[in-house]
Structure 1
Amino acid sequence: MTLPLVPYPLSVTEHDAPAFRLDDGVGITGDDTCAEQLRRALATVTAGTLGHGEGIRLEIIAGGPAESATIEVSSAGVVVTGADAAGLFYGVHTLVQLVRRDTEGWSIPAVSISDRPRFSYRGVMLDVARHFFDVETVCGWIDRAAALKVNHLHLHLSDDQGWRIALASRPGLTEKAAATAIGPDDGGHYTADDYAHIVAHAASRHMTVVPELDMPGHTHAVGLAYPEVVEHPVITDEVRAAAEEFGGGLPRTGVPYRGLAVGFSSLRISDPETDRFVRDVFTDLAALTPGPYLHLGGDEALGTDPARFASFIARATEIITGLGKTPIAWHEAGAAAGLAAGTIGQYWGFVTPTDGMDATARRFVAGGGSLILSPSDAVYLDMKPEPEFPLGLTWANGHTSVRRAYTWEPSSVIEGIAEEDILGVEAPLWTETARTAADIDALAFPRLAAAAEAAWSPATDTCTERTWESFRTRVGAQGPRWRAQGIHFHASEEIPWA
């Protein structure tokens, strides 16, 4: 029987031996932090509490690969060992997935597991600009993703609809550009303390926050506060069509934008005041962000002259590297000849590239960087999972079923890119149609599990369990646990839910 593990570990051996029984006499010893996390997780799954004895041992033994873990289960006890704190944390989450109920109560089958990640970067993105989400919701998103061994949270903090983080050098951004969102909803923003709380909560789950300030496009909101650095909107047939289909009207200079159209806004490139603005906001953001990455966007600058776009990307990546951070940009930025060395590209084209998207992505690698893969027709969580689903969009080759989210292989997306050139996989969740935490859950689950497996587990041609039939069974077994954790997942008919 396939064990209900998602993402699937590197090596699993089941033993023909008695299981370990979880009864009132069992206790957890070892690493205090992970022990408390395991107690809470087991209490949620089993609706009970453990005793104060022994039986489950958690320990860190340095020397193995980063984030790696081993699990040994026999009728006599359980030992989870991590090569570091992150490895032990992930090992604990694997152990929780093994817990099952039989006629005698709760137990853990006798197994030996050795595990480590395929890619070092395993990400999710939450767009808090189209619709704003409070700190509690973001922290809940962190908890859900971390349980699937995701270790980076990409926060999309600015867009045409609003600016979401307070920065000391530019107070007008939150005073004048943060109040609105798509449609009738209110906006909002994070104070420095709010952001610090999110960063600390993520770190406690071994997750790095990657903040994004999108530019030079997606900057209409900036003009509400600092009109001198923003061009007038460029109204195209595509912008008019989006306004006709989704509402929100056409963007107008100095007026908050509540629609869904993209590509009409741009910073005023080559203006000295714009250069000062870019330096100010990234300097402040770098000071607030302990992680190594700052994301500068760089996508869908459709109304921006290509030569001026290239000069902007070269300057912005130079500013970020000068702050001691590594720039990340969407793959369109690869068109810039002056891209700072080591800049990381994030590919959001299709699983089968079109329109030269693969060529621009390869330029990041040629410049000493690497790639994060986010193929929109596989891991964009904001796509509809089914044609009639009430949430989501369909521009990425129609709806994205769970099967389509799972049956792709990262090493096969961009020709000429070696395994070592791929930093990892990220599943973005844009929020044009997501307004609540329950909406986020419904769009993300179970497809987030598919993306997490692509990021963590062995390649599809090296592991017998990396198949659609195995995955749909394993993810179906997560249903009771997700319900117990309060996750409002979409019970897709593709999955045989337990």
Structure 2
Amino acid sequence: MVLPLVPLPSSVVERPGALVLAPSARIVADDTADAAASVLADVIAQRTGSRPEIVTGSARPGDFVLHRRAGTDDEATDDESYTVRIGDDVRIEGSATGLFYGIQTVRQLLTSEGDGWMLPHVEIDDAPRFEYRGVMLDVARTFFDVETVKAYIERASSLKFNRLHLHLTDDQGWRLQIDSRPLLTENGSATAVLGRPGGFYTKDDFREIVRYASAHHMIVVPEIDLPGHTHAIGLAHPEIMEAPVMNDALLAQAAELGQPLPIAGEPYLGWGVGHSSVKIHDEHTWEFLRDVLSEVADLTPGPYLHVGGDEALGTAPADFNAFIEQVTALVAGLGKTPMTWHEAGSALVAEGTIGQYWGSVAPSAAHAAEARRFTERGGGLVMSPSDTAYLDQKYDADFTVGLDWASLINLKTAYDWEPTAIIDDLSDDAILGVEAPLWSETIASLADIDQLFFPRAAALAETGWSRADSHDWASFQSRIASLDAVWDAAQWGGHRPTEIAWSNR
């Protein structure tokens, strides 16, 4: 049979027969695996409607047995490998993270048989290909509350994504409380793109997001976009902002879409880019950045702090490069690993800075050179090609949400790419992983998020997790078909492309 496993595990050995899930099935776990036991109980209840008892002691046939490997901790960065053995019982073994991922695999294997449930006899040994497997949510253009972010975490972690990149600031809004600069949220968070409601996260809100992400074995990557995408800063601190710089693309797009142009000191409701910049050589700017980035670093337990660096179209190249050199050094001095979008590779980024590549799968010479700079400086690359990995792009021209400036990305396009094959002359270990960004110009609700997330995120999850030699579109089509039932049981919506023969079992 075709096992409905996405992402595909490293090794799957099927055995004859199946385990029929009995009403008396229990979860056997000691106190080192009690968090995983609760997750497994929730998953089984969600999938089958019946919640098993959690016990300690000896297992009986038909039980679920969790074994936490010795010497591992609860960090999202611990050993992510796991094993699943299904025969007379179900045995899952791994670190805290490995147990969580093994449970997600069992979630997918549970299949309805009439009024009952079964699990195939199988032996699975699994570990990820890439360390960094991320999703991004743009909460700056459209603000999403804490509960929506948690729902996004649930969806992503079920597919074994382990990084949550939050795009917290942009021209349309500033979304994070900064104690030393209270005007940022007082003046800069009230609205969003197209006049949607604004909002921001208090520090306690952000801590709750970090806690919830950690419980789902995801690390939060906060982004403060600089030196462009900064119009909202001007609503609070106009003294450190340059006047908006109009460019031909911005003018043409605003006219085509009937959107307003940016005006200094007024909220920006359009979605054109490239017009804003902080004053790069002003000491007040750097006082501001030291205040802000220090607070973000203190608030974030993960190793990363993303400082943007994209689409600074109105900034002279020499000024941009000087800014990037200084801001990445500032982040490194705060004890964080700087991350930037790949354009920042034109500068002498701080040692160890990670670049996020968002060009196409056929890069220009300039984009490729910028991307290589990060590896020359001791960092690496996270691959987010906009024409395959951007979740905000439409599936087809008639899709009701999404954009199409990069490409129309159907499920096969989202699946059919290789992260190590984009930038020439790099070793495979220069690629740290992949990320699937979801920009929010056209989305306003969790239902909209689901439409763009499912099922393409599953394709991107497999690219990040599974071995390169296992990548096969026909196999993926067969395996993803049964995930419709899994997602429905969790009440996760989404698009169901007709090229997949979806199953409700």
Question: What interval of TM-score do these two structures reach, taking the shorter chain for normalisation?
Answer: over 0.9
Q: Per the alignment, do residues 475 and 135 of structure 1 end up closer, same or farther by CA in structure 2, a change over 3 Å counting?
A: same
The aligned runs of 1:313-462 (5 Å cut-off) are: 313-336=324-347, 338-396=348-406, 398-459=407-468, 462=469
- For residues 261 and 20 of structure 1, do their structure 2 counterparts lie closer, same or farther at Cα, with a shift above 3 Å needed? same
Name the CA distance, whole Å, in 2 between partners of 1:63 and 1:387.
51
Equivalent residue of 1:210, what SS? strand
- How far residue 387 of structure 1 moved from its aligned partner, in angstroms, is 1.2
Within the candidate set 33, 43, 46, 1:44 is matched to 46
Amino acid at match of 2:484: G
Task: Give the Cα–Cα distance (whole angstroms) in 2 for the partners of residues 103 and 285 of structure 1.
Answer: 52
5+ residue gaps, structure 2: 73-77
1:246 Cα shift? 2.4
Residue 103 of structure 1: how far off its partner (Å): 4.2
Native 8 Å contact 1:212 1:295 kept in 2: yes
Aligned to 1:153: 164
The CA deviation at 1:189 is 0.2
Partners of 2:216 and 2:359 lie apart in 1 by: 30
Structure-to-structure mapping, 1:293-332, within 5 angstroms: 293-332=304-343
Question: Is 1:240 the equivalent of 2:242?
Answer: no
Which stretch of the first structure deviates more once superposed, 468-477 or 224-233?
Answer: 468-477
Distance 1:128 1:103 in 2: 43
Counterpart Cα distance in 1 of 2:190 and 2:499: 40
Q: Shift in Å at residue 245 of structure 1?
A: 2.3
Q: Is the 8 A contact 1:160 1:265 kept in 2?
A: yes
Conservation of the 8 A alpha-carbon contact between 1:25 and 1:52 = no
Equivalent-residue separation in structure 1 for 2:288 and 2:53 (angstroms)? 57
2-side partners of 1:394 and 1:139: how far apart?
Answer: 27
Measure the CA separation in 2 of the matches of 1:494 and 1:262.
35
Distance 1:390 1:469 in 2: 27
Alpha-carbon offset, residue 104 of structure 1: 6.8
Which residue number in structure 2 is paired with residue 199 of structure 1? Answer: 210
Measure, in 1, the Cα distance between the counterparts of 2:498 and 2:426. 35
In the aligned structure 2, how far is the partner of 1:209 from the partner of 1:294?
A: 9
Aligned length: 489
Quick check: 1:128–1:157 contact (8 Å CA) kept in 2? yes
Amino acid at match of 1:36: S
Letter in 2 for 1:412: A
Alpha-carbon contact 1:246-1:260 (below 8 Å) kept: no
Aligned letter for 2:22? D
User: Deviation at 1:49?
Assistant: 2.9
Matching residue's letter, 1:81: E
Partner of 2:472: 467
Asked if the contact 1:383–1:394 (Cα under 8 Å) also holds between the matched residues in 2, the reply is yes
Letter of the structure 1 residue corresponding to residue 363 of structure 2: P
Q: CA deviation at 1:474?
A: 1.3
Alpha-carbon distance in 2 for matches of 1:413, 1:493: 29
Question: Contact 2:37–2:66 at 8 Å: present in 1 too?
Answer: yes
Amino acid at match of 1:232: A
For 1:90, the equivalent position in structure 2 comes to 101
> SS of the counterpart of 1:110?
strand
Mapping of residues 248-287 of structure 1, within 5 Å = 248-287=259-298
**Partner residue of 1:79 out of 91, 95, 99:** 91
1:496: which partner in 2? 501
Amino acid of the residue matched to residue 492 of structure 1? P
Distance 1:261 1:245 in 2: 11
Q: Which moved more, 1:4-13 or 1:474-483?
A: 474-483
Aligned to 2:65: 57
In structure 2, the partner of 1:32 is: 34
SS of the equivalent of 1:114 reads strand
Superimposed CA distance per residue, residues 320-342 of structure 1 (whole angstroms, 9 cap, x where no aligned partner): 00000000000000000x31000
Any stretches of 5+ residues in structure 1 without a counterpart?
none
1:63 Cα deviation after fit: 6.9
1:10-25 equivalent positions in 2, closer than 5 A: 10-16=10-16, 18-25=17-24
* C-alpha contact (below 8 Å) 2:107/2:486 kept by paired residues: no
Letter in 1 for 2:143: F
Q: How far off is 1:164 after superposition? A: 0.2
Aligned position for 2:75: none
Query: What amino acid does structure 1 have at the position aligned with 2:8?
Result: Y
1:352 Cα shift? 1.2
- Residues 96-122 of structure 1 deviation map (CA, whole Å, 9 limit, x = unaligned): 111112247211100000000001111
Q: Does 1:483 align with 2:483?
A: no
Indicate how the Cα distance of structure 1 residues 285 and 52 shifts in structure 2: closer, same or farther if over 3 A, else same. Answer: closer
Q: What SS class does the counterpart of residue 488 from structure 2 fall into? A: helix
The CA distance in 2 between the partners of 1:136 and 1:342, in whole Å, is 34
TM-score, structure 2 length as denominator?
0.95
Amino acid at match of 1:50: P
1:316 counterpart SS class? helix
Q: CA deviation at 1:392?
A: 0.5
Aligned-partner Cα distance in 2 for 1:187–1:247: 21
Alignment check: 8 A CA contact 1:381 1:444 kept: yes
Give me the whole-angstrom Cα distance separating, in 2, the residues matched to 1:291 and 1:457: 24
Change (3 A) 1:251 1:355: farther
Check whether the contact 1:212–1:294 (CA below 8 A) recurs between aligned residues: yes
Residue pair 2:37, 2:54 contacting (<8 A) in 1 also: no
User: Which amino acid in 2 is paired with 1:23?
Assistant: A
Structure 2 residue matching 1:183: 3-state secondary structure:
helix
Q: Can you list the C-alpha shifts for 1:447-483, whole angstroms capped at 9, x where unaligned?
A: 0001111110101xx22xx211111221121001111
8 Å contact from structure 1 (residues 248, 257) kept in 2: no
